[in-house]
Amino acid sequence: MAGALEFVFWDVQHGSACYIKTPNDRHIVVDLGIGSYGSNKRFSPLYHLHSNYGVKQLDLAIITHPHRDHLDDIDNLVALNPLSLKRPKYLTRQQLIDGNKKDDSEIVESYLRLSGSYTQTPKPGSSADIYANAQWGGVKISFHASPTCNTNNLNNHSIVSIFEYAGSKIMIPGDNETVSWNVLLENQSFLQAAKNTNILVAPHHGRESGHCSELFDAIGKPNLTIISDGPFCDTSATSNYGNQTRGWLVHYPDGTNEERWCVTTRCDGVIRVKAYTETDNKNYLIVNVQKGSGS
């Protein structure tokens, strides 16, 4: 078997955090959510990566957009010293301040300091050049955004990342809403990259504001939708995603499996996805969840 492309979607409740290991053992994270579990117990995915996975440095950190639920783990990101940082860097300081709650000013300042430390253009072909050919062990990564949107809603400036490997495509947007989806759907490079997506991470934590029927009309129905959300989901559009998803086999810890249309960190815990090609040249896309059926 060739190397695998592996995703771990952490359960950070109302937030978003994903770890990706490429077939050539490079390390990527998308967003910096932290889980809070009462009695001051906090789960930091980045600290967990360092302590339990042995990750000493990240090759790439992607911050889809600068809102707190995507930034909370930023101090541990600094400790992992990513070689490259992808973020909507065209947003100005004032736009970031205006687009966040006043109570979140401290973490916005941390983000601004981090972003300001990545000003050098990487040498073409270097390990920090995220666009270099064969940089990610055969994984094709593309990034898409809608910078023309009004900055009164930073959700609409979320970066959409699409990973393609072993015949599978996994799309991880941030909190894009209808306005930005309409812009992206006019972009041919996005449409080509997103066509036939197999796994979609629901935008804006699966909320109604992020759901866009026209997206599915343009790219087709994915096999599975992943929703990263917390226990309070009164605006969830899970049923809409289920109706626009084809279904995929999901494996449980007890060895059983069943066809699912949506999986959520709220109900399923940590969600793991692996794409690889076997020696018989057949492609595989395996989904495992942390919790058992009916949990």
Q: Are 238 and 206 in contact (CB under 8 A)?
A: yes
pLDDT at 293 over 60: no
Which domains, ranges and CATH numbers included, belong to the chain?
Answer: 5-123+131-289 (3.60.15.10)
* Cα separation, 290 vs 53, whole angstroms: 17
- The helix (run of H) or strand (run of E) holding residue 116 is helix 105-116
Name beta bridge partners: 160. Answer: 144
Residue found by looking up tokens 């279904």 in the block: 247
The tens digit of pLDDT for each residue in 184-234 reads 999 999 999 999 999 999 999 999 999 999 999 999 999 999 999 876 665
Q: What 3-state DSSP class applies to 107?
A: helix
* Cα separation, 120 vs 63, whole angstroms: 18
Quick one: pLDDT at residue 239?
86
Write the CB contacts of 28 (distance below 8 Å, at least 6 apart in sequence): 19, 20, 21, 22, 58, 59, 60, 61, 62
Q: What 3-state DSSP class applies to 269?
A: coil
Quick one: pLDDT at residue 294?
44
Name beta bridge partners: 201. Answer: 226
165 — pLDDT class (breaks 50, 70, 90): very high
Number of DSSP helices (H) and strands (E) in the chain, helices first = 9, 17
The tens digit of pLDDT for each residue in 76-111 reads 999 999 999 999 999 999 999 999 999 999 999 999
Task: Note every long-range contact of 128-131, with CB atoms under 8 Å and residues 24 or more positions apart, other chains counting.
Answer: 128/83, 128/84, 129/84, 130/60, 130/84, 130/86
Q: How many CB atoms lie within 10 A of CB 82?
A: 20
Q: What 3-state DSSP class applies to 271?
A: strand
The tens digit of pLDDT for each residue in 109-155 reads 999 999 999 999 999 989 999 998 789 999 999 999 999 999 999 99
1 — pLDDT class (breaks 50, 70, 90): low
Q: What's the average model confidence in pLDDT over 28-49?
A: 86
The tens digit of pLDDT for each residue in 247-292 reads 999 999 999 999 999 999 999 999 999 999 998 899 999 999 998 6
Tell how strand 17-21 and strand 5-9 pair up.
antiparallel
* Cα–Cα distance list, 140 to 137, 165, 171, 230 (Å): 9, 7, 12, 31
pTM, to two decimals: 0.95
295 — pLDDT class (breaks 50, 70, 90): very low
Q: How many CB atoms lie within 10 A of CB 272?
A: 15
The DSSP letter of residue 149 is S
Percent of the chain surpassing pLDDT 90: 84
38 — pLDDT class (breaks 50, 70, 90): low
